Amino acid sequence: MFDFSSYHYANNKPSLSGVIRTHFSDFKVDEKFAFDATGEGEHALLHIKKQDTNTDWLSRQISQLAGVRKVDVSYAGLKDRNAVTTQWFSVWLPGKPDPDWSQLNSENIEILQTIRHSRKLRRGSLRGNQFNLIIRDVEGDASDLEHRMNIIKQDGVPNYFGAQRFGIDGNNLEKAKIMFGGKREKDRFKRSIYLSAARSAMFNDVLSQRVEMNKWADGISGDVMLLDNSHSYFLAEEIDEKIIQRLKEHDIHPSGPLWGRGDLLSKGVVAEIEKKLPEKFEVFDLGLRNARLDQERRSLRLSVNDFQYSHDVKNNILYLSFFLPAGGYATSVLREIINV
């Protein structure tokens, strides 16, 4: 059975425990983009507040209302169903007027804003997400809480793909194995989910090894360094003072592989760790290559920006607020603070 807790912690397992998502409003997520809408164009942008609503399901409702194909509705990333989230969707409507978007409003869905734009939303167009979380029924030893918070502010956290990536009890990984075994998955969305789960498991395995070595935020000779909030990278054959300073400033980050076709970019000790993945994940290795996914890189470190917290000891509540770049999981921050 898949056990997310088996991944190593950056600062040992927390002694505090608590409960998350007692109410939808305990987990708030707001998308942030690096661009402003143009106000005109073939694409309608919808800013939607939702709760208890699946992103893919909502995109289907939007396509039906607009009378367009499902592929003509785009979004920058999936959002948690069990949360209050604000999210943008784009709808391709060339030469067509906007339908009455208010028909989407319901107990769980609210249209906040609509505006035209010259381009569709794409994966990667998201700058990041603002999180505001409430953890209730907090119990345990809080003596090291401030210390943990300061470490996170300074170093960030290991950039694990969150447990939700793998489904309940790792079900998405089992589905991936079945799919790679020859069963064709006709649903394009589900196929993408299973491919991502397999890739994520392989990445998390490498990251956990680097965390155990205490080398997830520090560089190793042979590391592939990613520029902060960028897909640009370079090979660090030696870790000199300049590299160390750039790592300290979060200007660059060591990376791990998102598995697929192609040769590893890393060298030395780093490459030796990553070369063992095909043997450990043989089914995933072959499946991802056959799916024609090209190898990519992902940062081993997740920077946690604008980090604030308060601990209401009397009512056993912990409040957290922070901003994560696109692709970062709030659960990866939480697991370094409290067992939820």
For helices 188-212 and 268-275, the axis angle rounded to 10 degrees is 130
Q: Which tokens is 143 given?
A: 């003596």
On the question of pLDDT at 133 being above 80, the answer is yes
User: Rounded mean pLDDT of the chain?
Assistant: 94
CATH number for 35-124 (one of 3.30.565.10, 3.20.20.70, 3.30.2350.20, 3.40.630.10): it is 3.30.2350.20
Spatial contact of 283 and 181, defined as CB atoms under 8 Å apart: yes
- Among the residues of 108-216, which ranges form H helices? 145-155, 171-180, 188-212
Instruction: Give the span between the Cα atoms of 55 and 64, in whole angstroms.
Output: 15
CA gap 328, 160 in Å, rounded: 8
Side by side, which strands form the sheet with 296-299? 233-236, 223-227, 252-258, 296-299
pLDDT at 77: 84
| Percent share of the chain, pLDDT over 70 | 99
**What residues are paired with 140 via a beta bridge?**
none
Q: State the amino acid at position 17 in one-letter form.
A: S
Residue of higher predicted confidence among 168 and 111: 111
Q: What percent of the chain has pLDDT over 90?
A: 87
Q: Where are the beta strands (DSSP E) in 280-334?
A: 296-299, 301-302, 305-312, 317-325
Q: What is the mean pLDDT of residues 225-240?
A: 94
- Is 106 exposed, middle or buried, given 0-12, 13-18 or 19+ CB atoms closer than 10 A? exposed
Residue 132, H or E segment: strand 126-139
- Distance between CA atoms of 265 and 164, rounded to whole angstroms? 29
- Which residues are within 8 A (CB) of 248 and not within 5 positions of it... i.e. 6 or more apart? none
Same fold, 35-124 and 160-302: no
β-bridge partners, 130: 30, 323
CB burial string 189-203: b at 16+ within 10 A, e below: eebebbbbbbbbbbb
pLDDT at 80: 86
CATH classification number, 11-31+132-156+307-340, choose in 3.30.300.30, 3.30.2350.20, 1.10.3210.10, 3.40.50.970: 3.30.2350.20
Q: What is the pLDDT, as a whole number, of residue 1?
A: 60
Which token pair is 59? 């995109």
Residues in CB range of 119: below 8 A, 6 or more apart: 41, 43, 90
pLDDT of residue 266: 97
Give domain limits for the chain.
11-31+132-156+307-340, 35-124, 160-302
Report d(CA 73, CA 121) in Å as an integer: 9
DSSP tag of 118: S
Mean pLDDT for 91-112 is 96
* pLDDT tens by residue, 238-295: 999 999 999 999 999 999 999 999 999 999 999 999 999 999 999 999 999 999 999 9
Count of C-beta atoms within a 10 Å radius of residue 12: 10
Look at residue 124 and tell me whether its pLDDT is greater than 90: no
CA 127/CA 324 separation, integer angstroms: 9
Q: What is the pTM of this model?
A: 0.92
Say which residue, 73 or 3, is predicted with more confidence. Answer: 73
Q: Give the residue among 308, 296, 298, 297 at the shortest CA–CA distance from 333.
A: 308
Q: Point out the residues that are catalytic.
A: 80
In this predicted model, what pLDDT tens digit does every residue of 37-84 receive, in sequence order? 889 999 999 999 999 999 999 999 999 999 999 999 999 888 888 999
Three-class secondary structure of residue 170 per DSSP: helix
Section 299-321 average pLDDT? 97
Average pLDDT over residues 18-35: 92
Amino acid in the structure at residue 93: L
Instruction: Provide the CATH topology of domain 160-302.
Output: Pseudouridine synthase (3.30.2340)
207 and 253 Cβ atoms separated by less than 8 Å: no
Q: What is the DSSP string of 23-86?
A: SGGGEEEEEEESS---S-SSEEEEEEEEES--HHHHHHHHHHHHT--GGGEEESS---SSSEEE
pLDDT of residue 117: 93
pLDDT of residue 79: 87
- Whether residue 147 has pLDDT greater than 90: yes
